[in-house]
Amino acid sequence: MNRPAATPGGTLVLDSEGLAKAVSRERTVTGWLSLARADDLRVITSAAALVEVVHPRINRSALEWTLSRLVVEPVTDPIARHAARLLADAGLHGHTYAVDAVLGATALAAPGPVTVLTSDPEDLTALCGNRLTVIKV
């Protein structure tokens, strides 16, 4: 796997698909998580992403183990307001983009540099521009 140069102290963000792939121990995401640990990066997700990933067939023990190794950031009032601004600035609205906007606002509030593993790179780029690195998983 080729990877961009990492700066110690940055943040790796998982969207719901990144989190789901971490839970199922998908090889690419597992590799990114290993690199994050080696490079002393914070690994986070949004509580909104957690809501998307939980379903009746998920391996709950694998989910809990994965969550124990990262930080689930809450959707606070400032994060929600920033997400709403991101949506407005991008000319987007509605539930289709809401969780991506919350994830984007969470990522932008994290210590940089920030890399986001996402299944929606186009949406996150539209919302956040080049203020973070977006990797499709």
Q: State if pTM tops 0.85.
A: yes
pLDDT tens track of the chain, all 137 residues? Answer: 455 554 457 999 999 999 999 999 999 999 999 999 999 999 999 999 999 999 999 999 999 999 999 999 999 999 999 999 999 999 998 889 999 999 999 999 999 999 999 999 999 999 999 999 999 99
Residues belonging to the chain: 137
Residues 6+ apart with CB under 8 A from 36: 12, 42, 43
Copy the structure tokens of residue 56: 């009746």
CATH number, domain containing residue 78: 3.40.50.1010
Look at the alpha carbons of 24, 28, 32, 38 in this order and tell me if their dihedral is positive or negative: positive
Residue 6 lies in a domain: no
- 1 falls within a domain: no
Do 90 and 30 touch, CB atoms closer than 8 A? no
User: How many domains in the chain?
Assistant: 1
Q: Which two tokens stand for residue 107?
A: 């990522």
Structural domain boundaries, residue 69: 11-136
CA-to-CA distance for 23 and 29, rounded, in angstroms? 9
Residue 14, beta-bridge partner list:
45, 117
Cα 88 to Cα 9: distance, rounded to the nearest angstrom? 30
